[in-house]
Amino acid sequence: MDQKSLWEARGPYLVASYDVDNWTAVDDGEFAVFAQVPTDTGAERLPVVVLSHGLGGDHHGYAPLGAHLASHGYAVLHPQYRDSRSHLVRTGQIDPVAASGSAADEAVAVLVKAMLFDPQHWWSRVRRARALIDSLSEQQRLDVNLDPSGVTVAGHSYGAYTTQLLIGARLFGVGPELRTCAHPAVTCGVLISPQGSGDRGLTERSWDQVVTPMLVITAERDFGPNGEGVDWRREPFDRAASPLRHLAIVADTDHHMGGIASTDEAPVDEHELGRAWSRRVVSALTLAFVEAARGDREAVRWLAADPLATAVKNEHVGGPS
């Protein structure tokens, strides 16, 4: 990574941030969105990335990843879900005075553990993401116009599960209303530390009808809740029918990807597995794949040429045309 590629380097645009407390409403209430958008692009409408946080995370998380995409011209919208720490504070489920440190972490863990395997909570997340996408053409919260078509959905960990449903992964054995939740405006999916079969309604058949371009990012020590490893994390890539898809296995890091859920560019804690550069790797791969899915042939060629090979093991399907 000595010489930065186009996709590793910060983009040409300054990034403006917006906190919108009540973006729109769904049947379980209004929800907040943290938005990062480029300034002075000259574009009539900005392409959109919906970036979903992990279980117990926060919509302000993944800010460096969102800012990287925004600096290259994308409006990145981070929706708040009911399991987020800030939502639990706002709704009085945890004490706002004690909403930091180990005690708060334990309180959040207790509250969100029940949500992890609750189908109603899966659906709550999907409803919020879909409502956000449905609102794009009429939103008046930002000082820019957003493109309601060609939406990219991305997410890490539990956010990757939400993303899988939005690109058409089917669920089995959890009720017919949850069999498919694909949104027609979604044309690209980025799954960071996704789940494989045997988890939350996912089976070996779950991806056989997924044709949306798909990036799957995992890591050498990215273990699942029952100790599942890379073979499990990569199942969406292996089983999907997407004609354009890419798998990246990041070396020398774990599920946290060097602190990808960070709200800022602060250094990674020494005790945390992984290195800060792994966040930059994830940002570069995500940007390149989103551009490739939008038809950028140079991005496709870069992905197909085993990029960042000293830090990443790559597999690619769908070469340049």
Kindly report, residue by residue over 215-261, the tens digit of the pLDDT: 999 999 999 988 999 999 999 999 999 999 999 999 999 999 989 99
Burial of 35: CB neighbours in 10 Å, binned 0-12, 13-18, 19+:
buried
> What's the confidence (pLDDT) of residue 30?
87
Per-residue pLDDT tens over the stretch 139-160? 989 999 999 999 999 999 999 9
> What's the confidence (pLDDT) of residue 267?
59
> What's the confidence (pLDDT) of residue 1?
38
Res. 116 pLDDT band, cuts 50 70 90: confident
Res. 313 pLDDT band, cuts 50 70 90: very high
Q: Give me the DSSP letters along 91-154.
A: TTSS-GGG-SHHHHHHHHHHHHHHHHT-HHHHHHHHHHHHHHHHTTTT--SSSS-B-SSSEEEE
Residue 319 has pLDDT above 60, yes or no: yes
> What's the confidence (pLDDT) of residue 268?
52
Q: Give me the mean pLDDT over the 35-46 stretch.
A: 96
> What's the confidence (pLDDT) of residue 181?
87
Please tell me which residue, 165 or 25, carries the higher pLDDT value: 165
> What's the confidence (pLDDT) of residue 316?
97
What mean pLDDT value characterizes the chain?
89
> What's the confidence (pLDDT) of residue 2?
40
Per-residue pLDDT tens over the stretch 166-195? 999 999 988 755 567 899 999 999 999 999
DSSP percent split of the chain into helix, strand, coil, nearest 5: 30, 25, 45
* 2-11, 14-23, 150-159: least confident range: 2-11
Report the C-alpha gap between 247 and 255 in whole angstroms. Answer: 15
Pairing of strands 75-79, 48-52: parallel
> What's the confidence (pLDDT) of residue 273?
46
Per-residue pLDDT tens over the stretch 56-96? 889 999 999 999 999 999 999 999 998 887 777 776 677 66
Report the C-alpha gap between 183 and 167 in whole angstroms. Answer: 7
Residue 321 has pLDDT above 60, yes or no: no
Residues whose CB is less than 8 angstroms from the CB of residue 118 and which lie 6 or more positions away in sequence, other chains included: none
Map out the domains of the chain with their CATH numbers.
15-81+115-317 (3.40.50.1820)
> What's the confidence (pLDDT) of residue 105?
66
> What's the confidence (pLDDT) of residue 246?
98
